[in-house]
Structure 1
Amino acid sequence: MGKLKIYGLEKNSVYELYIEDFRGNREYIFPIIDKVSYFAIDRRFKDKIAHLFITKDNKIIYKREIPVIKRKYRVSRIWVRKGKKKVSKYKLKLILERIKRENRLLRKALKVYTKKLYREKYFHKPLKILKVSTPFGAKRILNGKRKYIHWGVDFRARRGTPVYASLSGKVVLARNFYLTGNTVVINHGLGIYTLYAHLDKILVKEGRFVKVGQTIGKVGSTGRSTGPHLHFGIYINDVKVDPMLAFKLKLD
C-alpha cells in the first residue's frame, strides 16, 4: 500500500492509476484526485512483480514495476463447542440469507468513491493501547477446517473500552450484522474506509460526520466472537490492507 503524488495535471483530463499482473489482467483501479492517489495490493496477489500504470484519458503516460514481497501469515486455530440444540434447515437458510444480504450491503458501501479526503496526517489508533490477538491475513481454521482469511486486526481489550474514529469522515454503516455484530463503517474519502466490529455499543448514527479521535463505540463481543475484542479493518479502494502498516502511512 502507498500514496502517489503527481504534478502537472490538466484540469479537463481524467487520470487513473491501475495495477496489472504479468498476464496483463487489471487487478485494481485507483482514481487520481487533486494530484493524489492511494493504492494497495491485495494479500492474494500471486505475482512477484506488480505493473503500475498511470493513464491520462485512457492513454498510458507512466509505467513502473513494483516488487511484491511475500509475507508469512499466521495460522489461527479456533475451537468452538457445538451447541446441543440443532439448528433447523429453515433457520439455517434464514441465517445464510441474512449473511449474504449483509455482505452485499457492505460491498456496496465500500464501492462508493468520494472525491474528497477529510485530511489527517496519519491514521489514528482506534484504541489507546493496541494489543494484537489476531494479525491481518491470518488463516483461520475453525474446528480443524480451514474457513477464511482474517481481513483485519483483532485487538484485545476489556468490554466497554472506548473505540475511536481512526480518521475524520462520514458514518455509512452503524448497525448489527450476524457475523461482525455491532459494526461501524466510516468513509474518509478518496476510497479510504475503516471498519470497527463486535462492538458492545454503537455511539454514532449513519449519515453523521465524525472527527478523528471521536468515541464511536465500546469494545464488546457481539456477533460471531469468542470474547471481548475490537476487529479493526482498513480498505483502500475496496482492497483490504493491514492496519499495522497503514498506521505508518503519511496521508497529507
Structure 2
Amino acid sequence: MPDKHLSSRFDADLNLLSTRLLEMGGLVEAQIACAMEALNTFDLTLVEQVRESERRLNAMEIEIDEEVSNVIARRQPAARDLRLLMAVSKCVTNLERAGDEARKIAKRTRRIAMESNPRTVNIAEIKASGEMASHILRRALDAFARMDAIAAAQIFRDDEAIDNEFEAFVRKLITSMMEAPRTIPIGLDYLSIAKAIERIGDHATNIAELVVYVVKGTDVRHTHRLQFARVAFGR
C-alpha cells in the first residue's frame, strides 16, 4: 500500500498497519455475512456469533489506533504519509461502526425470530441491499489496499443502488403496514435492519473517500458524486 521510504522500519510500520486494517475489514465482512445469513435462516447461533465477534472488533480498533499514534510520534510524518496514517485511523472507526450495524441486524433478527410468523414481510430488497453493502465494503478495502482512487470513485456511485433499494423497501413496507396493522411491530424491526444495511454502505463510501484523500490530497467528504469523480480521475 505505502510508497517506499529510506527507513525500512517506517515501511514495516506502514505495512503492519495496512495488514491489521485489512484483517479488521475481513472480520467485519464475516460479521455482515453472518448477520445476513441469520436473517435468512433465523439461526440464533449465528446471532450469537455476530455478538461475540464485536468484542474483538472493539479491541482491534483500540490496538490499531494506538499503533497509529505511536508511528506518528516516532516518525513525525508529513504530506501523504500523514494523510495515510490519519486515513487508517478513520477507516478503523468506519469498520467498527459497520460492525455495530451488523450487530444491530443480528439483534433485530433475534426479535423477529421470536415472532410466531416471522416471514410476514417480503424482504427481497433487504437481501439484495445486504449483498451489495458487503460487496462494496470489500471493494472499498481493496481500493484502500491498492490506493486506487478510480476504484474508490466507482464505490461512491454504487452506494446509490443501496439507497434506492432502501427507499423501495420503505415504500413497500409502509403500504404493507397500512393494509395489515398487525405487521407493524415486525415491520419496524425489518425497517431497522434495512437502515443498518444502508449505513454499512455509507461506511464503505467513507472509506472510499479516504482513499481519494490520501492519493489526491483533497478532502471529498460531503461533495457531490460528480465532484468526487472529478477529483478521483484528476479532471
* TM-score w.r.t. length of structure 1: 0.25
Higher share of residues assigned strand: 1
* TM-score w.r.t. length of structure 2: 0.26
If asked which structure has higher relative contact order (CA below 8 Å, sep 6+), I would say 2
Higher share of residues assigned helix: 2
